[in-house]
Structure 1
Amino acid sequence: MVSRASGPPSAVTAQQILEAAQIEFGEHGLEGSTVRGVAQRAGIDPSLVIRHYGSKNDLFTIAIRLPGDSTEHDVAEHLFDVVDVRLGELPAESRALVRSMLTAPEATAALGDFLNERTANLAHGGGEDAGLRAAPTASSILGLTIARRFLKLDALGEISEEQIEKTVRPWITAAIGDGPPAERRRARQTARCSP
């Protein structure tokens, strides 16, 4: 049932619209989504979508913003966490961004900015060729995301934690030029599981 509201826009409705839009854009991309579809998913009148966000393109620009990463001292550990997220169920904003990156200039620019920022963060203080190591690493993680979540690559379909530990983590470690992190990772996992 669609509700109609009068009065000032509420923060709850704005968040409700944003979450519905991320799912809608994630499933259909920018071109395949409509304001009406977002409103229906949010259970509101389409006029509220326009009232809160202006247009479908404006809403898309906000919906694809990715949260920033926290500062990490151990680059390898940070990248392992990123891979864990990318090989798991994608957050709605990531799904919307990746689905639309080749068809919507806003998504292309947003993803380019995001990868440039991640590459710069990974390269920071890493020496002369740090940028050359960081760029392929960041873009390869994007490739893993696309292959697993959108192309449904069989080899990545049912990847286990053991397989990730055995194949993906050494690849990341070699790419960034860090030492073997297996014991640090196991210690961290043990600490997470401890009461």
Structure 2
Amino acid sequence: MPRSKEQFEEMRKATREKIHSSAMRLFVHQGYGSTNVQDIADTAGISIGLLYRHYKTKEELFNELVAYAVEGLKRNITFFNESDHPPKKLITQFVNEVYSDLSHGEELANLLILINQSLLAGADTTSKQYKEIFQVNARLLDSTAQLIRKGQQCGEFRSGDAQEMAVFFYASIQGLAEMKVLFKNNFTVPSPSVITSFLFKERE
């Protein structure tokens, strides 16, 4: 029987997911410059011709992965800005998700490293994507700092410069992502309570 339109779409989606997963892993472990299209096709278990049906160049694929990661950052901004929940609950939920993602897979770690690669590995600083990444990162820091200030005002968070605390918070998560990729199965993700220990006041 000939395949239906829905079946073709499912196959197309599955192929793109294989390409994304393989490319992301190779870009992170080998670097963008050392990864070629044939490497990605081989790792994904598809022909190079099939890969080219989805992406004309390696750069196009890399940019799509970075755009996907940036959308995740935007969702975090919305989560922090638009929720009515107390600051401590929001940060706790966010950290629990980060802990779960880092504990059970590499996607989050790879995405965070991929964003840094796009900024550090000879990227075009005048490009629209480069500027967007910087703007989104700045907005995320500001949103988190604002949330920390609210937490300080209601007595849930430790005192200190909220902007500096936000920077430290994301630097810690970025560092954990890099250690996850470096040490692989020998790496144990610190518990959420350790990740937030600098931020939350201890119960009296």
TM-score relative to the length of structure 2? 0.59
The CA deviation at 1:172 is: 2.4
Specify whether residues 43 and 111 from structure 1 end up closer, same or farther in structure 2 by C-alpha distance, changes over 3 A only.
same
Specify whether residues 51 and 141 from structure 1 end up closer, same or farther in structure 2 by C-alpha distance, changes over 3 A only.
farther
1:118–1:138 Cα contact (<8 Å) kept: no
Alignment partners' CA distance in 1, 2:52 and 2:203:
50
Q: What amino acid is the match of 2:114? A: A
Alignment partners' CA distance in 2, 1:143 and 1:50:
36
Residues 125-164 of structure 1 aligned to structure 2 (within 5 Å): 135-150=163-178, 158=188, 160-161=190-191
Alignment partners' CA distance in 2, 1:48 and 1:134:
49
The CA deviation at 1:151 is: 5.5
Q: State the match for 1:51 in structure 2.
A: 53
TM-score relative to the length of structure 1? 0.61
> Which of 51, 63, 66 is 2:65 aligned to?
63
In the alignment, structure 2 segments of 5+ residues that lack a partner are: 1-7, 151-159
2:122 aligned with 1:122, yes or no? no
Specify whether residues 51 and 159 from structure 1 end up closer, same or farther in structure 2 by C-alpha distance, changes over 3 A only.
closer
The CA deviation at 1:50 is: 2.8
Q: What amino acid is the match of 2:115? A: L
Q: State the match for 2:157 in structure 1.
A: none
Out of 94-103 and 16-25, give the one that drifted further: 94-103
The CA deviation at 1:108 is: 5.6
In the alignment, structure 1 segments of 5+ residues that lack a partner are: 1-6, 174-179, 184-195
Q: State the match for 1:24 in structure 2.
A: 26
Q: State the match for 1:171 in structure 2.
A: 198
The CA deviation at 1:148 is: 3.0
Specify whether residues 57 and 18 from structure 1 end up closer, same or farther in structure 2 by C-alpha distance, changes over 3 A only.
same
Q: List per-residue Cα deviations over 1:55-103 (Å, max 9, x = no partner).
A: 1111111112222236243333333344445553452322432455421
| Percent identical | 17
2:93 aligned with 1:77, yes or no? no
User: Alignment length, in residue pairs?
Assistant: 163
2:24–2:114 Cα contact (<8 Å) kept: yes
2:120 aligned with 1:102, yes or no? yes
The CA deviation at 1:143 is: 1.8
Specify whether residues 169 and 123 from structure 1 end up closer, same or farther in structure 2 by C-alpha distance, changes over 3 A only.
closer
> Which of 85, 89, 113 is 2:135 aligned to?
113
